[in-house]
Amino acid sequence: MGGGGLRYGDLGATARHLCVDMQRLFAEDTAWKTPWMDRVLPQVRRIVSRFPERTIFTRFIPVRHAGQGRGTWRRYYRCWPMMTIDALGIEMVDLVPELHRFTPPAQILDKRAYSPWYETDLEARLRSEGVDTLIVSGGETDVCVLSAVLGAVDRGYRVVVATDALCSSTDETHDASIKVYESRYGQQVEAVTTDDILDRWN
């Protein structure tokens, strides 16, 4: 999907790459393993390589142990006790090695919910640098990426979704999410390929 080209012009110095949750806890043999991650990693790496200093990597940080968390998050981690920090080990929140080597100059933003906008300084970082456009890659298309995209739309950012640099656990919900980006958010979201992005990000 994607590949129709950027509708609203080239990408320049006011664009940043928001790479969502490309972490060991989703890449390795855990209960949250995302099988597609290996497949999209080369495309993600291509985008990061263009301007590492313009990339922000988000990391999803689980609670320390089951029983922690606010409201439904407490129930969530009772369902997934094997995915807490105590069970996994803190090293599993790290980025996959192929991307970790880009930090620095790439930045890291830690979050405890799906959204990178919730209880973080993401918007302050972007506004301080005059950013008006976000290129989004990572996973999962229908969970944390979706939350990142909708938060960016609400805040008025131009959003460019790299369709071949997104991963999910299921084809059905990945494809449905891409269709939603294209059909329901057409004024704010451009769903294109990595080649489209790199051809016009200078």
Span 182-196, mean pLDDT? 92
Residue 11's pLDDT is 97
The pLDDT assigned to 2 comes to 45
Average pLDDT of the segment spanning 76-87: 96
Q: Report all structural domains of the chain as residue ranges with CATH numbers, in order of start.
A: 15-62+92-199 (3.40.50.850)
Quick check: 4 and 192 in contact, CB under 8 A? yes
Say whether pLDDT at 3 is over 80: no
At residue 4, does pLDDT exceed 70?
A: no
Q: Look at residues 30, 7, 145 and name the one whose alpha carbon lies nearest to residue 92.
A: 30
Cβ atoms 56, 106 nearer than 8 A: yes
The model's pTM is 0.95
Residues in the chain: 202
* Top-confidence residue, 180 or 3: 180
Token duo for residue 34: 């995302």
Residue-wise pLDDT for 143-184, tens only, equals 999 999 999 999 999 999 999 999 988 888 888 988 998 888
Q: What span, in angstroms and rounded, lies between the C-alpha atoms of 67 and 75?
A: 8
